[in-house]
Homo-oligomer: A and B are copies of this chain.
């Protein structure tokens, strides 16, 4: 196995301390490769980058109208949220629309990823529930989808449950890969996690933002509704102090982005400008870390000439993050420099 290239370097003082390697795939909405680094055909687990497609199990069945979902609710379906009070509220609201409760969630509990929310919970003498799990919106959406489609909801999280077949079909259509060629394992939230080539994930995001990939007879507004929800409620997709939220705020109508665990990130860029094609970007840091992820995402966008100066300014703290220590001293920095080919 050839080592993938270094995508980001971590400096302490003037010297290199650590590096992050990885692979990148950039394709257009037709699947043509626009650029790559490392192995674009490398198989990866999508982790939470699959959430917009998992949300389709509900939206494709008309869940939007049936459960009166606003952008907050739809954005939370696609979220790896911080477990802030607002996220917990919307997750509970989603559940209640289908007559479900927190007991029906199979995601398990963990402390809010948003640290101040975690501290507030502990300080109040409370323990986290499944609503605080960053995947609670996705899980609530699958429960609602079961209600709407007449599936028994108890085992919605098992790979053999019919709702998982619906998810697989949607992912397959957007990523343009046969369901039989999509591998599965168990995700952090106990749902099936999907495995496919990096470039297939990139294509899924290109087609999502291009509103392609919908099957015959499907509601063609679903991909658009998902993108609109992410732009209208970016705080629901991630949360306070999170890159994805600021990235969505900066890229309204221009791009969507979603992180996955283990160093995965995926971006859809809307057609426009001199390029005239929708693009999908997917990358994975081979060590599974996240600290260089945001800088790598922005570096790729800049190299593709798709990062306007105004966005570069508003996202500047993510471009070359500083490394600080316990006293807040600036002791180093993370520098992304992705060796893209085929530009």
- Give the interface of A toward B (CB within 8 A): 1, 3, 6, 10, 12-15, 17-21, 43-45, 106-110, 119, 122-123, 125, 133, 183-190, 193, 195, 262-263, 285-289, 325-329, 331-332
Closest-by-CB residue of B relative to A191 is B325
Is there an interface contact between B17 and A288, defined as CB atoms closer than 8 Å? yes
Chain B residues, CB < 8 A from A125: 123
Is there an interface contact between A189 and B332, defined as CB atoms closer than 8 Å? no
Is there an interface contact between A287 and B18, defined as CB atoms closer than 8 Å? yes
When A and B form their complex, which 4 residue pairs have the shortest distance between CB atoms, in order from nearest? Answer: A13-B185, A3-B3, A108-B326, A18-B288
Q: Given that A108-B325, A329-B186 are known contacts, is A21 also in contact with B3, CB under 8 Å in the complex?
A: yes
Given contacts A14-B185, A185-B332, 15 further A-B contacts (CB under 8 A): A13-B184, A15-B185, A17-B44, A17-B45, A106-B327, A107-B326, A108-B326, A108-B327, A108-B328, A186-B331, A188-B331, A190-B329, A287-B287, A287-B289, A289-B289
Is there an interface contact between A325 and B186, defined as CB atoms closer than 8 Å? yes
Is there an interface contact between A185 and B12, defined as CB atoms closer than 8 Å? yes
Closest-by-CB residue of B relative to A106 is B327
| Least distance between A19 CB and chain B CB atoms (Å) | 5
Of the A-B pairs whose beta carbons lie under 8 Å apart in the complex, a sample of 13, sorted by A's number, is A3-B21, A12-B45, A12-B185, A17-B44, A17-B45, A108-B328, A122-B123, A123-B123, A189-B325, A190-B325, A190-B327, A285-B287, A287-B289
| Least distance between A1 CB and chain B CB atoms (Å) | 8
| Least distance between A270 CB and chain B CB atoms (Å) | 31
Contact of A325 among B10, B187, B329, B331 (CB under 8 A): B187
| Least distance between A119 CB and chain B CB atoms (Å) | 5
Chain B residues, CB < 8 A from A331: 185-188
Chain B residues, CB < 8 A from A107: 326-327
Contact of A122 among B20, B109, B119, B285 (CB under 8 A): B119
| Least distance between A318 CB and chain B CB atoms (Å) | 19
| Least distance between A192 CB and chain B CB atoms (Å) | 10
| Least distance between A129 CB and chain B CB atoms (Å) | 11
| Least distance between A104 CB and chain B CB atoms (Å) | 14
| Least distance between A244 CB and chain B CB atoms (Å) | 20
Q: In the complex the two chains form, what is the Cα distance from A44 to B107 in whole Å?
A: 40
